[in-house]
Amino acid sequence: MPDIPFRVAFLRKSHLFHGLSDQELVSVAETMQENSYQANELVFTEGAAADAFYMVYKGRVQLSRQNREQGRRLATLFEGDYFGERGLIKGAFRNATVKAAEATTLLILYRDDFKKLLKKAPHLWENFDLMMDSRQLATQLKFGWLKENEVIYFLARKHVFLLVRALVLPVLGLSGILGLLMLAYLFQWLWLGAAGGFFLVIDLAWGLWRYVDWGNDFYIVTNQRVIWLEKVIGLYDSRQEAPMSTILSVNTESDFWGRYLDYGTVIVRIFTGQIRMTYVRHPKQAAGMIEEYWNRAKSATRQMDEESIKNAIRTKLGVARPAQPPALSTATSGPATRESKLAKSWRELFTLRSETGDLVTYRKHWVVLLRDTFLQIISLLGLLVASFASPFVIGTPPLWLVLIELAILLGIIGWWIYGFEDWRNDQYQVTPDQIIDVYKRPFGVEDRKAAPLEGILSTEYKRSGLFQYLFNYGTVFINVGGAKFDFEDVADPPTVLQDILRRQEIKLIRKKEAETAVERDRMASWLAYYHKTMQEIEAEKKQSHPGNPG
């Protein structure tokens, strides 16, 4: 096979074969079979038996599915992409139809050859295992904030070791509670049984909370960005991300237990800091996957820059542009689930950080709500205690006393609602262009202050006092020219600061890209003038020497 060196160079770029030596890559290249397809030719159909894995060596293919929506297009895959991994690992049946979108060459690895390959390079399994877990999890989850042309390549939760560690205390507590229930049963102590039942419910709720909290954190790599998604139900929703173009380096670190249990931290360094993917399974393979798509993004950016320059020159010269195939992988991520206004309002009732499109909104920490409504809460508790105790002190209360207590109760509740709305109306927002400080008194005037992201001169955050360190909240200080913005008492101020700096960096990058486009257009104009001038000079020469053929 004369193209083996080219295949080796191709495979070396893929994270699936990360860590293989040149000799092992040659073995893989020799094992894979090569098939060519014409435009619109089927590779395989949905429901067919599956026993092979495919890589797009040249060209592009389209994936579609017929079983739910007729002709629904799933994705367009380009050089370096792969599909059919279920057939390689599990066999089963194809869950999509694949056809060539143009003249395409595919490299095919059959299951029997893959098993032989694993005997020679068993560590190769970890790369495929990580890829399989990512795709399986991606099919189960729907992220409504994904862009139309965005494809998930890597998706993972934190290592199960972190879940086991989080459940140690609830499990130990459960053991103690079961012991109490056993004593209550043996000695017929009703009060101990009631206490044990109460603590059993609390302990089970605690364990369930820790499990759900573990399951809500995700690390994601798409064809456009790297994302760390962290969520605490009803309280916190954080999405830290970095566009591929802002990545500076990718590396890993791991401790003793991490090396033993195969987990670690993947560190993605960007212009404004870093994204730390902690407790990631197969960290080296995950880092290799990020590096691959980072390099592919850089290559795509270079190609787009070259095409932009060519198209700008063609436009200036008045030369028609040839039709170009699409340059980016596309996928439909399925319809976003619709949520009722009532459900959305309830979900966002105590949320401290929320995202709606490109708008990020922060509220003050719930500790501040408790602090500012402390008198209301104490008054409410005192009234409830007095109401329950009064029948034992004065007997059946008269109707007028019940009505007075009810009126006071409604007044205290209204007082607390006023304090809650006052807490809820203080919002700090970050958009792709601005930072915004919104202050509004209930039934009062709204005070709104905004400043452009590119005008930020300095930032810092502070956490002072035991409560701020204990509950992780503080103030982010932002200096914008002569104005100062204080995001007071926000949860997790380091992440808030990173959100602001990251969006500022994206804004500056877009501004630089716009300036580069203007400069590119100016250069194209000069080249067009040069070309036109040279044509005029050639025409003048021909007129001066009509008998000279040139």
Band of the pLDDT at 335, cuts 50, 70, 90?
A: very low
Higher pLDDT, 135 or 199: 199
Band (pLDDT 50/70/90 cuts) for residue 104 is very high
Distance, CA of 216 to CA of 233 (rounded, Å): 8
Confidence of residue 493 (pLDDT cuts 50, 70, 90): confident
Q: Are 25 and 12 in contact (CB under 8 A)?
A: yes
Residue 71, sorted as left (phi over 0), alpha (psi -120 to 50) or beta, turns out to be left
pLDDT in tens, 127-139: 888 888 888 888 7
| The pLDDT of residue 331 | 40
The larger pLDDT score, comparing residue 166 to residue 338, is at 166
- Using DSSP's 3-state secondary structure scheme, residue 198 falls into helix
Q: Provide the b/e sequence for 241-266 (b: ≥16 CB within 10 Å).
A: bbebbbbeebebebeeebeeebbbbb
List, as one string, the DSSP characters of 202-249: HHHHHHHHHHHHHHT-EEEEESSEEEEEEEETTTEEEEEEEEGGGEEE
Helices then strands (H, E): number in the chain? 15, 24
pLDDT higher at 123 or 71: 123
Q: Which of 22-26, 223-227, 269-273, 409-413 has the lowest mean pLDDT?
A: 269-273
Give the three-class secondary structure for 76: strand
pLDDT at 72: 60
The answer, yes or no, to whether residue 508 has pLDDT greater than 80, is no
What pLDDT is attached to residue 330? Answer: 41
Q: Which amino acid is residue 96, in one-letter code? A: A
CB atoms within 10 A of CB 545: 10
The C-alpha atoms of residue 115 and residue 122 are separated, in whole angstroms, by: 9
Residue 453 identity (one-letter amino acid) = L
Distance separating alpha carbons of residues 284 and 291, to the nearest angstrom: 10
Q: Kindly report the pTM of this predicted structure.
A: 0.60
Evaluate if residue 203 carries a pLDDT over 90: yes
Specify whether the CB–CB gap between 242 and 267 falls below 8 A.
no
- With respect to CATH, is domain 341-503 assigned 2.30.29.30? yes
What b/e string do you get for 173-196 counting C-beta neighbours within 10 Å, with b at 16 or more? Answer: bbeebeebbeebeeeeeeeebeeb
**What distances in angstroms separate CA 124 from CA 24, 96, 131, one per listed residue?**
10, 26, 11
pLDDT band of residue 207 (cuts 50, 70, 90) is very high
Average pLDDT over residues 319-335: 47
pLDDT at 319: 67
CA torsion sign for 10, 13, 15, 19 is positive
| pLDDT digit string, tens, across residues 222-237 | 877 888 887 766 555 5
Is domain 1-122 annotated with CATH 2.60.40.10? no
Q: Do 292 and 15 form a contact (C-beta atoms < 8 A)?
A: yes
Residue given tokens 């207590």 in the structure block:
405
* Calpha distance 58→37 (Å, rounded): 10
CA-CA-CA-CA dihedral for 30, 36, 40, 46, to nearest 10: -30
Q: Which pLDDT band holds residue 142 (cuts at 50, 70, 90)? A: confident
Contact call for residues 405 and 387 (beta carbons, < 8 A)? yes
| Residue 215 near residue 143, CB atoms below 8 Å | no
- Tell which residue, 111, 70, 120, has the closest CA to residue 90: 111
pLDDT at 106 over 90: yes
Question: In what side-by-side order are the strands of the sheet with 330-331?
Answer: 42-44, 97-100, 60-65, 72-78, 330-331
Percent of the chain with pLDDT over 90: 13
Size of the chain in residues: 550
Query: Contact 294/224 with Cβ under 8 angstroms?
Result: no
pLDDT for residue 546: 66
**What CA–CA distance (Å, rounded) separates 72 from 180?**
58
* Number of C-beta neighbours around residue 24 at 10 A: 18
Domain spans, the chain: 1-122, 161-215, 341-503
Per-chain mean pLDDT for the chain: 81
- Return d(Cα 252, Cα 291) in angstroms, integer: 12
* Amino acid making up residue 436: I
Query: Rounded distance, CA 53 to CA 380, Å?
Result: 65
79 φ/ψ angles, rounded to the nearest 5 degrees: -55, 130
What residues have CB less than 8 Å from 526, skipping those under 6 apart?
A: none
Instruction: Show the tokens assigned to 137.
Output: 């999890």
- Predicted confidence (pLDDT) per residue in 251-279, tens digit: 999 888 888 888 999 998 877 678 888 99
The owner of tokens 């094992």 is 31
4-12 and 22-31 are packed helices; what angle lies between their axes, rounded to 10 degrees?
110
